[in-house]
Amino acid sequence: MDSELRELYQQVILDHNKSPRNYRVIEHPSHFCDGHNPLCGDTINIYLTIAEGIVKDISFQGSGCAISKASASLMSSIVKGKTIEEVKSIFEKFKDMVTGKLDVDLDSMGKLAVLAGVKEFPSRVKCASLAWHTLINAIDKKQEAVTTE
């Protein structure tokens, strides 16, 4: 496989795509939002239980490509237990990483660093970001569904 392609579809991503973590519904979420990428028809539903400013539980469901599903899965495992402020600051760094805007210190990105390869594929940045945008909207309790367009 080509090295750039291997960088995008790392084993961790293929693994999260095949067995996504936290792929379920939370029955009575405190926060919830739908996300949608009209370009490729990807959809995601994010469920959250937030108490005392901390993400106590998070889950998601939806359909999408390997990048979008793996990104949602990785996100869900990373933000659990974090404060809202921490989640938002990770999101900012994540955005910079996948758009290649800044030289992000990949060591500080933990498991999310596997998605750094996305920056070489401009058409796939939205795939990687959909879950995050939807999460932020859920946290901010914005009612309207997220769209990447």
Partner 1 sequence: METSIKLNNEVFDIEKIRSDFPILHQLVHKKPLCYLDNAASTQKPKVVIDSISDFYSTTNSNIHRGVHFLSEKATQNYENTRTTVKDFLNAKSEKEIIFTSGTTSSINLIANTYGRKNVNKGDEIIVTNMEHHSNIVPWQILCEEKNANLRVLPINNNGELILEKFNELITERTKLISVVHVSNSLGTINPIKKIIEIAHKNNIPVLVDAAQSIQHLEVDVQKLDCDFLAFSGHKIYGPTGVGVLYGKENLLEEMPPFMGGGDMISKVTFEETTFNDLPFKFEAGTGNIAGVIGLAAAIDYVKSIGLENINKHEAKLLNSATEKLSEIKGLKIIGTAKEKTSVLSFVVGNIHPHDIGTFLDFEGIAIRTGHHCTQPVMDYYKIPATSRASFAFYNTFDEVDHLTSALKKTIEVLS
- Positions touching partner 1 (CB under 8 A) are 1-2, 4-5, 8-9, 14, 17, 39-43, 63-67, 121, 124, 127
User: Which CB, 68 or 80, lies closer to partner 1?
Assistant: 68
User: Which CB, 18 or 56, lies closer to partner 1?
Assistant: 18
Q: What are phi and psi of 13, to 5 degrees?
A: -70, -45
Q: Is residue 24 a contact partner of residue 58, using CB atoms and an 8 Å limit?
A: no
Three-state DSSP class for residue 149: coil
Give me the least distance between CB of 40 and partner 1, in Å please.
5
Q: Is residue 46 a contact partner of residue 58, using CB atoms and an 8 Å limit?
A: yes
Give me the least distance between CB of 72 and partner 1, in Å please.
13
User: Which CB, 15 or 86, lies closer to partner 1?
Assistant: 15
Strand 54-63: give its sheet, edge to edge: 54-63, 42-51, 31-37, 146-147
Give me the least distance between CB of 36 and partner 1, in Å please.
10
